[in-house]
């Protein structure tokens, strides 16, 4: 974070400084990172005591003080020998401080900001873009999926005067949340990847999901660029909702950043990348799954807009071996390939992963899909689990292993579609599924493990990967 006095931080957050007995003054300078996790505090850090669903960050403020926090942001005064900033809402204050820091660094004229949203692919696209931009200059991007009202501003506060690029991943579970993040960061480039049923239960339906994702581009200026997926009809409608210049990506021949000749194997995906300058380059993309090509196109489009050389874009894309931990992560060995893609799941990403499994298996080998719940679908949950069960059968997946009561409809649908001779199996628990798979898998098998994060099948994937490594 840039250096700011306590008085400047208080002004930015509309807070009141409590300094008695601390030895600090309003002119004391703080330049440490910000966090809402007391375990991450190092001397000089700003600790935001955030109320949580199960606990309250104020309970951990003493640990933050002991670790050397330079400032503790609270919504009520605590008996601690450390400067405190009393605010009405610590999460709002976090966002206000991020807004001020971004504005100050922007005023220096060096920083360029890319915002990324979409129902699927945000983290992968962010990682790919970071890999590209780090070849050009100092780049800040969130770790893991830091993309909400807390994670996004924590990432933004890492920006310093030397930062050249900020990649801001922007997720949401309701209307107005992306707009708030956009107002904090003011992106020069806004990427929208896809509008699907991920979190549809929280949003209240696909149309509200569309409205929320459109917030990425509605506040862009006419000097900005909206990078939009031409292959997604809902995303394509956003061109009419922004004054920014639109740069299309996809496989549609009208897209300025386009992929042709896509071919998927167990070693990755190859495609030809076409850029707006008319050039075309072959990309040997090691991230597994054809659906990740669209994420690569979005990253390439943003990088091209930032004047990154086409050869550098391709070189950086080809160095990335996996999207992220537990995202199409290839594990296993001794003839058994385990694809652990159980960090998250929506109907679109589940379907894409199963299609990838069907595409990459060698002739004469078995495909096994170990599937768990897709969460946060609300009223769409039953029919979408049914649809995935049917899809697995129609794609010819050799063995379905469904885990957990919330996913059982996939098993029932598969049986109803004809998988009544043991091709689909159901287990209540991961341990039961593991015991079966440990004895049933054999050399040549390709195993996909896929579920929402809350279902926890990523740990089952890890166990299987370790078993055959």
Q: Measured in Å, how far apart are the chain's first and last C-alpha atoms?
A: 42
Beta strand 336-340 pairing with 367-371: unpaired
Count CB atoms within 10 A of the CB of residue 439.
Answer: 8
Q: Which two tokens stand for residue 17?
A: 């400084």
Report the alpha-carbon distance of residue 40 to residue 36 in Å, rounded. Answer: 8
Task: Give binding residues for ATP as ranges.
Answer: 118-124
Between 3.90.190.20, 3.90.1300.10, 3.40.605.10, 3.20.20.150, what CATH number should domain 329-467 receive?
A: 3.90.190.20
Which residues are annotated binding-site positions?
Answer: 118-124
Whether residue 273 contacts residue 312, with contact meaning beta carbons closer than 8 Å, is answered with no
Q: What is the pLDDT of residue 421?
A: 81
**Mean pLDDT of successive 10-residue segments in the chain (469 residues)?**
96 96 94 85 93 86 94 95 96 96 96 95 93 97 78 93 96 87 96 80 76 94 97 97 98 98 91 98 93 96 98 96 78 92 89 94 94 90 95 96 96 89 94 97 96 93 94
- The reported pLDDT for the residue numbered 304 is 98
Domain 4-88, CATH homologous superfamily name and number: MurE/MurF, N-terminal domain (3.40.1390.10)
Domains of the chain, residue spans: 4-88, 108-319, 329-467
pLDDT (0 to 100) of residue 203? 59
CATH topology (fold) of 108-319: 3.40.1190
Whole-prediction pTM: 0.87
3-class SS letters over the chain: CCCEEHHHHHHHHCCEEECCCCCCCCCCEECCCEECCHHHCCCCCEEECCECCCCEHHHHHHHHHHCCCCEEEECCCCCCCCCEEECCCHHHHHHHHHHHHHHHHHCCCCCEEEEEECCCCHHHHHHHHHHHHCCCCCEECCCCCCCCCCHHHHHHCCCCCCCCEEEEECCCCCCCHHHHHHHHHCCCEEEECCCCCCCHHHHCCHHHHHHHHHHHHHCCCCCCEEEEECCCHHHHHHHHHCCCEEEEEECCCCCCEEEEEEEEECCEEEEEEECCCCCEEEEEECCCCCCHHHHHHHHHHHHHHCCCCHHHHHHHHHHCCCCECCECEEEEECCEEEEECCCCCCHHHHHHHHHHHHHHCCCCCCEEEEECCCCCCHHHHHHHHHHHHHHHHHCCCCEEEEECHHHHHHHHHHHHCCCCCCCEEEECCHHHHHHHHHHHCCCCCEEEEECCHHHCHHHHHHHHHHHCC
What pLDDT does 204 receive?
65
Same fold, 108-319 and 329-467: no
């Amino acid at each position: 974070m840039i250096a700011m006095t306590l008085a400047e931080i208080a002004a930015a957050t509309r807070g009141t400084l409590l300094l008695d007995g601390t030895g600090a003054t309003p002119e004391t300078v703080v330049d440490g990172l910000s966090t809402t996790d007391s375990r991450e505090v190092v001397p000089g850090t700003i600790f935001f005591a955030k109320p949580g669903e199960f606990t309250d960050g104020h309970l951990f403020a003493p640990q933050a003080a002991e670790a050397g926090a330079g400032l503790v942001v609270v919504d009520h005064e605590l008996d601690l020998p450390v400067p405190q900033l009393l605010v009405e809402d610590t999460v709002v204050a976090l966002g206000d401080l991020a807004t001020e820091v971004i504005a100050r660094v922007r005023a220096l004229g060096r920083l360029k900001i890319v915002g990324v949203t979409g129902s699927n692919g945000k983290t992968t696209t962010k990682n790919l873009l970071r890999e590209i931009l780090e070849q050009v200059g100092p780049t800040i991007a969130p770790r893991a999926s830091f993309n909400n009202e807390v994670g996004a501003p924590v990432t933004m506060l890492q920006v310093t005067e030397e930062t050249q690029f900020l990649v801001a991943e922007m997720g949401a579970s309701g209307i107005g949340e992306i707009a708030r993040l956009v107002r904090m960061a003011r992106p020069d480039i806004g990427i929208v990847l896809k509008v699907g049923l991920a979190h549809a239960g929280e949003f209240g339906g696909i149309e509200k999901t569309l409205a929320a994702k459109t917030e990425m581009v509605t506040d862009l200026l006419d000097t900005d660029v909206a990078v939009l997926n031409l292959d997604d009809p809902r995303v394509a409608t956003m061109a009419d909702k922004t004054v920014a210049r639109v740069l299309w990506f996809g496989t549609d021949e009208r897209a300025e950043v386009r992929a042709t000749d896509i071919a998927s194997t167990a070693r990755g995906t190859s495609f030809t990348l076409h850029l707006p300058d008319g050039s075309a380059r072959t990309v040997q993309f090691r991230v597994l799954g054809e659906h990740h090509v669209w994420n690569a196109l979005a990253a390439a489009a943003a990088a091209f807009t930032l004047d990154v050389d086409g050869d550098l874009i391709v070189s950086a894309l080809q160095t990335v071996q996996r999207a992220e931990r537990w995202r199409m992560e290839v594990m296993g060995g001794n003839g058994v390939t385990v694809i652990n893609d159980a960090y998250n799941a929506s109907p679109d990403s589940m379907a894409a992963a199963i299609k990838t499994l069907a595409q990459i298996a060698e002739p004469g080998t078995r495909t096994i899909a170990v599937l768990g719940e897709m969460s946060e679908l609300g009223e769409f949950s039953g029919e979408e689990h049914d649809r995935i069960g049917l899809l697995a059968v129609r794609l010819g997946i050799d063995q379905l292993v469904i885990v957990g009561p919330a996913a059982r409809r996939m098993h029932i649908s598969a049986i109803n579609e004809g998988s009544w001779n043991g091709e689909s199996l159901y287990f209540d628990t991961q341990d039961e599924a593991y015991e079966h798979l440990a004895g049933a898998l054999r050399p040549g098998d390709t195993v996909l493990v896929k579920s929402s994060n809350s279902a926890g099948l990523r740990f089952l994937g890890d166990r299987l990967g370790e078993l055959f490594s």
